[in-house]
Amino acid sequence: MNIYKAYIAPIDKLDQNTQVGKFITIYPGSDRQAVEIAELLDEIYQKSPWSYLRIPAARQIGDGAVFTRYGQFHREYGENVLKNPSGELVPDIRGDNWIPDWLRDPFEPVFGPAAPASAPKAREGS
Protein backbone atom coordinates (compact mmCIF):
# COMPACT_ATOMS: atom_id res chain seq x y z
CA MET A 1 0.00 0.00 0.00
CA ASN A 2 1.51 3.32 -1.07
CA ILE A 3 0.53 6.11 1.28
CA TYR A 4 1.07 9.58 -0.09
CA LYS A 5 2.24 10.96 3.24
CA ALA A 6 2.06 10.13 6.95
CA TYR A 7 2.87 12.46 9.81
CA ILE A 8 3.32 11.54 13.47
CA ALA A 9 2.79 14.62 15.62
CA PRO A 10 5.65 15.53 17.94
CA ILE A 11 4.51 16.10 21.51
CA ASP A 12 5.21 19.87 21.40
CA LYS A 13 2.76 20.22 18.47
CA LEU A 14 -0.12 18.41 20.20
CA ASP A 15 -1.16 21.50 22.17
CA GLN A 16 -1.91 23.56 19.04
CA ASN A 17 -5.66 23.86 18.40
CA THR A 18 -5.49 22.25 14.94
CA GLN A 19 -3.52 19.32 16.35
CA VAL A 20 -5.59 18.59 19.48
CA GLY A 21 -6.08 14.85 19.82
CA LYS A 22 -4.07 13.90 16.73
CA PHE A 23 -1.44 11.20 16.99
CA ILE A 24 -0.89 10.46 13.34
CA THR A 25 -2.05 12.13 10.14
CA ILE A 26 -2.19 10.04 6.96
CA TYR A 27 -2.63 11.43 3.46
CA PRO A 28 -3.86 8.49 1.35
CA GLY A 29 -3.39 8.33 -2.39
CA SER A 30 -7.06 7.60 -3.20
CA ASP A 31 -10.56 7.43 -1.72
CA ARG A 32 -10.39 3.63 -1.74
CA GLN A 33 -7.13 3.68 0.18
CA ALA A 34 -8.58 6.18 2.69
CA VAL A 35 -11.50 3.85 3.41
CA GLU A 36 -9.23 0.79 3.73
CA ILE A 37 -6.95 2.60 6.17
CA ALA A 38 -9.92 3.90 8.18
CA GLU A 39 -11.40 0.39 8.41
CA LEU A 40 -8.08 -1.05 9.58
CA LEU A 41 -7.48 1.68 12.17
CA ASP A 42 -11.07 1.47 13.43
CA GLU A 43 -10.74 -2.32 13.82
CA ILE A 44 -7.48 -1.90 15.76
CA TYR A 45 -9.06 0.73 17.98
CA GLN A 46 -12.15 -1.40 18.71
CA LYS A 47 -9.87 -4.15 20.08
CA SER A 48 -7.86 -1.74 22.24
CA PRO A 49 -8.31 -0.23 25.72
CA TRP A 50 -7.42 3.27 24.45
CA SER A 51 -9.52 6.35 24.90
CA TYR A 52 -9.36 9.38 22.61
CA LEU A 53 -10.05 13.08 22.23
CA ARG A 54 -12.53 14.53 19.75
CA ILE A 55 -10.65 16.06 16.82
CA PRO A 56 -11.96 19.59 16.16
CA ALA A 57 -13.46 20.11 12.68
CA ALA A 58 -13.23 16.44 11.66
CA ARG A 59 -15.67 13.63 10.79
CA GLN A 60 -15.60 10.69 13.18
CA ILE A 61 -15.27 7.32 11.45
CA GLY A 62 -17.12 4.51 13.21
CA ASP A 63 -17.41 4.71 17.00
CA GLY A 64 -13.73 5.08 17.75
CA ALA A 65 -10.66 7.22 17.53
CA VAL A 66 -10.46 7.53 13.74
CA PHE A 67 -11.30 10.95 12.27
CA THR A 68 -11.09 12.39 8.78
CA ARG A 69 -11.19 15.84 7.25
CA TYR A 70 -11.27 16.87 3.62
CA GLY A 71 -9.14 19.89 2.94
CA GLN A 72 -6.00 21.55 1.81
CA PHE A 73 -2.59 20.26 2.78
CA HIS A 74 -0.48 22.13 0.22
CA ARG A 75 -0.59 25.91 0.28
CA GLU A 76 -0.14 26.08 -3.47
CA TYR A 77 -3.08 28.49 -3.92
CA GLY A 78 -2.96 30.35 -0.62
CA GLU A 79 -4.12 29.87 2.94
CA ASN A 80 -7.23 27.69 3.44
CA VAL A 81 -8.42 27.53 -0.15
CA LEU A 82 -9.19 24.71 -2.56
CA LYS A 83 -9.48 24.63 -6.33
CA ASN A 84 -12.87 23.39 -7.55
CA PRO A 85 -13.37 21.47 -10.83
CA SER A 86 -13.95 24.78 -12.68
CA GLY A 87 -10.56 26.01 -11.52
CA GLU A 88 -11.98 28.60 -9.12
CA LEU A 89 -10.46 29.07 -5.68
CA VAL A 90 -13.02 28.41 -2.95
CA PRO A 91 -12.74 28.49 0.86
CA ASP A 92 -11.51 25.36 2.64
CA ILE A 93 -14.26 25.22 5.27
CA ARG A 94 -12.82 23.53 8.32
CA GLY A 95 -16.10 22.56 9.92
CA ASP A 96 -17.42 19.28 11.26
CA ASN A 97 -18.24 16.77 8.53
CA TRP A 98 -17.66 19.27 5.69
CA ILE A 99 -16.92 18.00 2.22
CA PRO A 100 -17.07 20.13 -0.94
CA ASP A 101 -20.35 19.83 -2.84
CA TRP A 102 -18.52 18.58 -5.94
CA LEU A 103 -17.30 15.44 -4.10
CA ARG A 104 -18.96 12.45 -2.48
CA ASP A 105 -18.10 11.20 0.99
CA PRO A 106 -16.06 8.03 0.36
CA PHE A 107 -16.66 6.81 3.94
CA GLU A 108 -20.48 6.92 3.77
CA PRO A 109 -20.99 3.55 1.98
CA VAL A 110 -18.97 1.75 4.70
CA PHE A 111 -19.52 3.81 7.86
CA GLY A 112 -22.87 5.47 7.10
CA PRO A 113 -23.63 9.18 6.85
CA ALA A 114 -21.60 11.60 8.93
CA ALA A 115 -23.20 12.19 12.32
CA PRO A 116 -23.75 15.69 13.69
CA ALA A 117 -20.79 16.96 15.69
CA SER A 118 -20.93 15.88 19.30
CA ALA A 119 -18.72 14.83 22.17
CA PRO A 120 -17.44 11.25 21.86
CA LYS A 121 -18.96 8.50 23.96
CA ALA A 122 -16.88 7.20 26.85
CA ARG A 123 -15.60 3.67 26.41
CA GLU A 124 -16.75 1.08 28.89
CA GLY A 125 -14.13 0.60 31.59
CA SER A 126 -12.34 3.91 30.95
Q: What are the backbone angles phi and psi of residue 26, rounded to the nearest 5°?
A: -120, 135
Distance CA 9, CA 90 (A): 28
- Which pLDDT value is given to residue 38? 92
Could you report the per-residue pLDDT of 27-82, keeping only the tens digit for each? Answer: 888 999 999 999 998 888 888 887 777 777 788 888 788 888 887 766 676 678 88
Mean pLDDT computed over every residue of the chain: 75
Residue 90 has pLDDT above 90, yes or no: no
Distance CA 115, CA 117 (A): 6
The winner for highest mean pLDDT among 4-8, 52-56, 90-94, 118-122 is: 90-94
- Rounded to 5 degrees, what angle do the CA atoms 36, 41, 47 make? 130
- Which pLDDT value is given to residue 106? 92
- Read off the DSSP letter of residue 13: G
Q: Where are the domains of the chain?
A: 3-111
